[in-house]
Amino acid sequence: MSRYPALVLLLVLASCASTPDARPQLTEVESPSGAFLAMVDPAGAETILAAGGVEIIDVRTPEEFSEGHLPGAELIDISAPDFVSRIEDLDRSATYFVYCRSDNRSGQATALMADLGFESIYELEGGTIAWLSSGRTLTTG
């Protein structure tokens, strides 16, 4: 069984897409630590999130989070003084999906996570800006 079930599902669904534009995009990022780290577009993110088995982390501010976030996301504000300790407390063997507004802060967060030994991390390419631009919505609940 694959260690990355969401990746396997994404690849299967991508191969079944009817048009090239409908295929989710996943770009694996080289990680010096050996972690699986991939940037995914909104379509790929939606597929991964629908498959389940990932912990969703929003690294934006509490104000941004309250304006709208992905369902099931946990807020771990990258600008908060306890950010590193909260990340260090997470299970390194779990699979994480990390996002922010534009993918700048989430890029910093995923790099830290990889350096700390996290094994499997997805990052939303373009952040919530790309998510909303693709016609998807955020929740405030």
Catalytic site positions: 100
DSSP line for 87-137: HHTS-TTSEEEEE-SSSHHHHHHHHHHHHTT--EEEEETTHHHHHHHTT--
C-alpha 141/C-alpha 107 separation (Å) is: 26
Distance CA 34, CA 30 (A): 8
Instruction: Tally helices (H) and strands (E) across the chain.
Output: 6, 6
